[in-house]
Amino acid sequence: MKIVYMGTPDFAVPGLRALIKHHDVAAVFTQPDRPSGRGHKLAASPVKMAALEHGIEVLQPQTLRVKRDDISDVSGAKKYRALLQAFDADIFVVAAYGLILPKGVLNMPKLGCINIHASLLPKYRGASPIHATLLHGDTETGITIMHMDVGIDTGDMIIKKSIPILPNERFPSLHDRMAALGAECVVEAVDALEKGTAARTQQNDEESCYAPMIKKSDGRIDWNQKSAQIINRLRALEAWPGVYTMYNAQPLKIWGMESQTTSTDAPPGTILTADTTNGLRIKTADGAINITEIQPSGKKRMATADYLRGAKISVGTVLD
């Protein structure tokens, strides 16, 4: 089939590569190059880089929404929509594109638009389903290939495949396994659509829940939570934005932690121990967390024992 692929981050790359092997990918739409790194130089998206490796045309609109008062097409949306229409694709395949597709775009291809979504819908609709499944301590997740409509991940489902979440698995590992599963599922779905054998299952909206976009502030630890919830926050947010707590008005980024029991009735956030013998232990709602790896502001990541050899941490301080 003739496909226009729309995606931006690493998650979308395996799906693109898999479809290139089996179908005619006529063009790739991805987000515009963004400033990156300390020098803020413009960097291409992972999907753009993969497309260029295969000699596929890449288009990078800022938006595909046409405004009625934009007569001169300042945004370029009309131009890009005309180009998109001209490809005369059988189907658009979308994976973490980052732009909303208006109804006029959704209706362009003969077989509509399908999306590679990283959850078992209707659970975790929205921008951050992989983060959400780890934050909630789930033991299973999966990929859903769905028809797209004007709602947020509300379209009819074609394929759902589940995978177990490994004990203590963190975001980078789960992300990569999900991306690989998404590639497998989308090829299967496109083949079924081409043959006319694809299932179409309506979602149960009553079972839905939303996974909002992750913000930098989400990384701050709330010591009033239970130990398992705090550890799950690290598992989910390790790649970005990371998790941290504040001490003396400075952030302490945390890379490693383990749950411990304690009999103290100190309030959550209390520093219980801070030495090389007993470690850096902090009270939670139902126990304590031992910090095993840490990164002070402006310094490198290190074992907490090494940090404590040269740092003074006041036992009894209550972290907020």
Domain CATH for 116? 3.40.50.170
Q: Contact, 288 vs 230, CB < 8 A?
A: no
Q: Contact, 234 vs 308, CB < 8 A?
A: no
pLDDT above 70 covers what percent of the chain? 100
> Do 189 and 225 reside in the same domain of the chain?
no
**What pLDDT does 235 receive?**
98
pLDDT at 121 over 90: yes
pLDDT at 57 over 90: yes
pLDDT band at 234 (very low <50, low <70, confident <90, very high): very high
Residues 270 and 273: their CA atoms lie apart, in Å, by 9
pLDDT at 38 over 90: no
> Do 159 and 44 reside in the same domain of the chain?
yes
Four-CA torsion 10, 12, 14, 20, nearest 10 degrees: -130
Question: Is 176 part of a structural domain of the chain?
Answer: yes
Question: Is 320 part of a structural domain of the chain?
Answer: no
**Final residue of a structural domain among 165, 187, 211:** 211
**What pLDDT does 211 receive?**
98
Quote the number of domains for the chain. 2
Question: Is 67 part of a structural domain of the chain?
Answer: yes
Q: How many helical (H) and strand (E) elements, i.e. helices and strands, does the chain have?
A: 8, 17
> Do 239 and 201 reside in the same domain of the chain?
no
pLDDT band at 71 (very low <50, low <70, confident <90, very high): confident
> Do 83 and 47 reside in the same domain of the chain?
yes
**Final residue of a structural domain among 180, 211, 242:** 211
Mean pLDDT, to the nearest integer, of 259-285? 97
> Do 207 and 255 reside in the same domain of the chain?
no
**What pLDDT does 85 receive?**
97
Residues 234 and 317: their CA atoms lie apart, in Å, by 22
Say which amino acid occupies 235.
Answer: R
Which string of DSSP letters, residue by residue, matches 223-291? TTS-HHHHHHHHHHHTTTT-EEEEETTEEEEEEEEEEE-----PPTTBEEEEETTTEEEEE-SSSEEEE
Q: Which backbone phi and psi does 288 adopt, to 5 degrees? A: -150, 160
> Do 237 and 174 reside in the same domain of the chain?
no
Q: Contact, 119 vs 138, CB < 8 A?
A: no
> Do 23 and 169 reside in the same domain of the chain?
yes
> Do 194 and 255 reside in the same domain of the chain?
no
Give this prediction's pTM: 0.96
pLDDT band at 174 (very low <50, low <70, confident <90, very high): very high
**What pLDDT does 200 receive?**
96
Question: Is 319 part of a structural domain of the chain?
Answer: no
Residues 194 and 204: their CA atoms lie apart, in Å, by 26
Tell me: the pLDDT tens digits for 14-25? 999 999 999 999
Query: Containing domain of residue 239, as a range?
Result: 216-310
pLDDT above 90 covers what percent of the chain? 95
Mean pLDDT, to the nearest integer, of 45-62? 98
pLDDT band at 70 (very low <50, low <70, confident <90, very high): confident
Q: Which two tokens stand for residue 258?
A: 């383990």
Domain CATH for 252? 3.10.25.10
Q: Among 67, 105, 78, which residue's Cα sits nearest to residue 89?
A: 105
State the greatest distance between any 2 C-alpha atoms of the chain, in Å, as a whole number.
70
Q: Which two tokens stand for residue 207?
A: 């079972």
On average, the pLDDT of the chain sits at 96
Residues 222 and 290: their CA atoms lie apart, in Å, by 15
Mean pLDDT, to the nearest integer, of 61-77? 90
> Do 63 and 133 reside in the same domain of the chain?
yes
